[in-house]
Chains A and B, each alone.
Chain A
Amino acid sequence: MASDKLITMANQIATFFESQKGDDLAERVAAHLNDFWGPDMRADFVRLVGDPSQADRLHPLGRDAVALLRLPQDV
């Protein structure tokens, strides 16, 4: 999937959760992605942000969420 779109979508989600209270915001971003994105989308996303130049475009909460994503091999 087009890379810019995945990062844009992840940043939108992170921006919402950033405005919420709590110390589990990265977990909530990851939970949203796990619940609503298909596994292939998540895998594409993780692969994409493995590239530091792409990761720089990612919202900090999104970056924290990456490690918490469920990937196809975990399933």
Chain B
Amino acid sequence: MKDFIIPWDDRDMGTPAKTGAPISLTIDGVAVTVPEGTSVMRAAAETGLSIPKLCAIDSLEAFGSCRLCVVEIEGRRGTPASCTTPVAEGMVVHTQNAKLHKLRRGVMELYISDHPLDCLTCAANGDCELQDMAGAVGLRDVRYTATEGASITNHFTARDTNGDLNPEYLPKDESNPYFTYDPSKCIVCNRCVRACEEVQGTFALTIEGRGFDSRVSAGGPLDDFLSSDCVSCGACVQACPTATLQEKSVIELGTPQRSVVTTCAYCGVGCSFKAELNGDQLVRMVPYKHGKANRGHSCVKGRFAYGYATHKDRILNPMIRDDISEPWREVSWEEALGFAAQKLRGIQAKHGQKSIGVITSSRCTNEETFLVQKLARAVFGNNNTDTCARVCHSPTGYGLGQTFGTSAGTQDFDSVAHADVIVVIGANPTDGHPVFASRLKKRLRQGAKLIVIDPRRIDLVKSAHIKAAHHLPLKPGTNVAVVTAMAHVIVTEGLANEAYIRERCDWDEFEDYAEFISDPRHSPEAVEALTGVPAAELRAAARLYAKGENGAIYYGLGVTEHSQGSTTVMGIANLAMLTGNVGREGVGVNPLRGQNNVQGSCDMGSFPHELPGYRHVKNADVRAIFEQAWGVEIDSEPGLRIPNMLDAAVAGNFKGLYCQGEDILQSDPDTKHVAAGLAAMDCVIVHDLFLNETANYAHVFLPGSTFLEKDGTFTNAERRINRVREVMAPKAGMADWEVTQALANAMGAAWNYMHPSQIMEEIAATTPSFAGVDYALLEEKGSVQWPCNDANPEGTPLMHVDGFVRGKGRFILTEYVATDERTGPRFPLLLTTGRVLSQYNVGAQTRRTENTVWHEEDVLEIHPHDAETRGIKEGDYVKLASRSGETSLRAKTTDRVSPGVVYTTFHHPQTQANVITTDFSDWATNCPEYKVTAVQVSKSNGPTEWQESYETQAKAARRILPAAE
């Protein structure tokens, strides 16, 4: 690969980097100084020398099996492997001489004697380390050939030299949709097995057999890759030096010739990738080893599930219609934008300036999001802007803002490697944030302790080489009671870090808090009946967190999506302040963000009450900055949030919506209410890749561009601003930022951005935490974490180091209030919702990839006891009903859920899980209460009436008129 857009050093250094005191040595006459613990191999690489190697790679610890990297060291006997030999002061190393040359040739000759010589037609041709090493050691012939008729076997021919079936030959395993395993090409270097263990932490692979019988094996004897525990992260494929584990896309398309570094558009981890291409055809995605969020790792979605970008369902022409009962008409961009502008201005003339609004996307770039909220504030002339973060992490923004003073996580992901006790609350990282989960599991295997607070027994509770010290399986809806009880234990048992609190927090507020929290009604024993968590277990967990040195909390939507979501976030902040666990490496409060740019969309002023940088619209000085920059007057009153927009639409006061890259009909709660709101509007503009569910109610469809088709930035859960780079031209002709600009201009604005970097310049000029950010800095540093300004010119990996951003940290009282959503005779079970690894959010992207082999439909997890009393068996079609609606899906019996709790995902529109969820929401932010719905489950014959009528409506709404000749 020669044509890197970013010429950053990407060489394989052979073994991982170490930190330690400097050690000086000489290698082939070159003096070099490296940290103690560094291997001789890596030290040589530092000087630019590459020692031949096969089993070593710098993403894995040295293994020392291939014997190709042997060297001679003066004063030492023999020829040690350079990968497993650490440097020593004054060492004199020789990597090339006649003896070493002969040894290496001998090793290679043996390898090649059991390897097919089909290099020219091999998928790894040109990208094969075995091939490279054969060249590097000067292998010219192979003396070991089998005698004809002697019944000698190898691993790569189907028949032996006698013509009999070769028992050592194993056919290709093509079961995984994205890569193949061809045992005939395997050199048993163990890199795949080690990658699965060390990098991914799944332990799905092993070497079975001894000596000549040694083979890579996924799962048990009857498993193939697909049926094994393999999670298809691809770390093994990336580590494989040959074509043994090979991407099917490379087999089909050939080896890529150029690459562009960019950022994944799935979850909030924000992994950096090299998009590897031929021309503008994407061949594969390879996690970028210098990416600071992922450090060279990825999951099945980021690495493999990009096929949606070229899926036949992509809509590439703008479309309009006067009424949603009509089929779509394909029109030019100009006509579509003119039609939309005229409709929106018409609505404003008739129903008032505030009768229209926007929804920005947490999947689009910062620059695109900034423009959409600017469209509302500067062109519509109102603050009716909201984003899908409303329905996931808005309580994080409010809760952390109130307690610490910033609406963001406190750490970078590297920090987890320094944590001693890790608390995971309402998050399922192995499915939702897999790359972070791998980093967390690595730390757990090094000995850190884990506390899981979740209604379900998620994989982290117990899986290969991982076991939580405590799992608190609370009843959905009782987070505040559990978190408050933990604080009760810490305060009443004298475990609070008083010195830290006196120095960094408001002491008066702490005294009020201590009095409140010490009340016996908050004790674990008092709340046990309510939460279902055994008091002794809760006490032990609280003690472990308080006493365990570096305590780090990671949480997800199981915390925020409740009627007390904001209160739980404050309770978590209280726990961290009580124990002094904010302000250094290895600790902190870390929201795991659902979508790639949730953090960024919040930062960019998507919320109706806040201008970019979390500054309330009521502040005249803040408005003045934007009024001057934009030359308009900005409304001083907050606008409508998504649920408020829908309520107002049903009431007849809200008539027009521009919705970019979000599918509110599927993702937002209480589908019937969302549908009624959308149906009551006169102009719904959907700007998306596909005719999503919301588009069934749309009048204008503007084709979107994927992350591969535009420049920009995403901000991940650690506040890291990462570049998104265009790897192919926008398929519909315009990137999303260009579409928003064109719409604004059709409505009379005179925007003139030529490139997203100019939008970032405007963001930096108006938003203090982004003041130092520009594209040149991102090119230079790769990424930066905000705040990035004069005080922190290279960004801020850790927040609140010398004190809280707001001044003194605030303890806020966290009284438990039961949700109004309660179980009763009609709806005796509690439904909670979540994700699976292979699918993402509403599934619009992942359902259009081969990932469906792992999850082709949403299923209902139900405890065997609850299933039995209802006569439900594994795989039965069941009806799931709540007071909001009913749907049907298949049941899966499992004790991962407690009795009384059922669980499903919302990845598939056929299931319509959100027909069931209610309109209850967080008290402070209106974040919907997805995680608690009282339901009943019963046997069913098939789809419910709603599912059928929905299907009919959707089908009709998606008709497209054939283009006029």
Q: Which residues of A contact B (CB under 8 A)?
A: 1-2, 5, 8-9, 12-13, 15-16, 19-21, 32, 34-41, 75
Contacts and interface: CB of A to CB of B under 8 A. Distances in A.
Given A2-B651, A39-B637, 5 more contacts: A19-B814, A19-B817, A38-B638, A40-B354, A41-B640
Nearest to B398: A36
Contacts of A36: 609, 638, 641, 924-925
Contact of B644 (A19, A21, A34, A41): A41
Contacts of A8: 820
Contacts of A15: 817, 923
A5 B919 contact: yes
Interface string B202-220: 0000000000000000000
Contacts of A32: 924
Interface string B501-525: 0000000000010001000000000
Interface in B590-648: 608-609, 616, 618, 636-641, 644, 647-648
A45 B662 CA distance: 30
Contacts of A1: 644, 647-648, 651
A16 B383 CA distance: 26
Given A38-B638, A75-B637, A20 B812 contact: yes
Given A36-B638, A38-B637, A16 B647 contact: no
Contacts of B616: 35
Contacts of B785: none
Q: Taking chain A's interface residues, is the majority helix, strand, or loop, or is none over half, making it mixed?
A: helix
A41 B653 CA distance: 11
Nearest to A6: B647
Interface in B905-940: 919, 921, 923-926
A43 to B, nearest CB: 11
A19 B637 contact: no
Contacts of A20: 812-813
B242 to A, nearest CB: 59
Nearest to A42: B637
A38 B512 CA distance: 33
Nearest to A13: B923
Contacts of A19: 813-815, 817
Contacts of B438: none
Nearest to A20: B813
Nearest to A1: B647
A36 B639 CA distance: 8
Given A1-B647, A19-B815, A12 B637 contact: no
B563 interface: yes
A9 B644 CA distance: 11
B567 interface: yes
B640 A16 contact: no
B650 interface: yes
Contact of B648 (A12, A34, A40, A75): A40
A9 B921 CA distance: 8
12 contacts: A1-B647, A2-B650, A8-B820, A9-B921, A19-B813, A21-B516, A36-B609, A37-B638, A38-B383, A38-B639, A40-B648, A40-B653
Given A2-B650, A16-B817, A21-B813, A38 B923 contact: no
Contacts of A21: 512, 516, 813
Contact of A38 (B516, B644, B921): B644
Contacts of A5: 647, 919
B567 A16 contact: yes
A41 B648 CA distance: 9
Contact of B640 (A2, A12, A34, A38): A38
A47 B644 CA distance: 17
Interface in B788-846: 812-815, 817, 820
Q: Taking chain B's interface residues, is the majority helix, strand, or loop, or is none over half, making it mixed?
A: loop
A38 B608 contact: yes
A29 to B, nearest CB: 11
A19 B566 CA distance: 14
Given A1-B651, A2-B651, A40-B354, A35 B609 contact: yes
Interface in B861-919: 919
Nearest to B919: A5
Nearest to B923: A12
Contacts of A34: 618
Interface-centre pick from B638, B820, B924 (highest chain A CB count, 10 A): B638
A5 B76 CA distance: 81
B778 to A, nearest CB: 34
Contacts of A35: 609, 616, 618, 638
Contacts of B383: 38
Nearest to A16: B923
Nearest to A75: B637
Contacts of B924: 13, 16, 32, 36
Contacts of A12: 563, 817, 923
Nearest to B515: A21
Contacts of B608: 38
Contacts of A38: 354, 383-384, 608, 637-640, 644
Contacts of A75: 636-637
Nearest to B382: A38
A66 to B, nearest CB: 18
Interface string B311-354: 00000000000000000000000000000000000000000001
B72 to A, nearest CB: 72
A36 to B, nearest CB: 6
A40 B926 CA distance: 17
Contacts of B638: 35-38
Q: Closest 8 CB pairs between A and B?
A: A19-B815, A12-B923, A1-B647, A39-B637, A21-B512, A38-B640, A16-B923, A1-B651
Interface-centre pick from B640, B921, B923 (highest chain A CB count, 10 A): B923
Contacts of B640: 38, 41
Contacts of B921: 9
B923 to A, nearest CB: 4
A75 B609 CA distance: 15
Contacts of A2: 647, 650-651
Contacts of B648: 1, 40
A41 B472 CA distance: 40
Contacts of B637: 38-39, 75
A17 to B, nearest CB: 9
Interface in B342-369: 354
Nearest to A8: B820
B926 A9 contact: yes
Contacts of B609: 35-36
A75 B633 CA distance: 14
B560 to A, nearest CB: 15
Contacts of B647: 1-2, 5
Nearest to A72: B637
Contacts of B567: 16
A69 to B, nearest CB: 12
B932 to A, nearest CB: 14
Nearest to A37: B638
A69 B637 CA distance: 12
A42 to B, nearest CB: 9
A41 B638 CA distance: 10
A32 B923 CA distance: 10
Nearest to A12: B923
Contacts of B354: 38, 40
B561 to A, nearest CB: 15
A12 B812 CA distance: 16
A29 B512 CA distance: 20
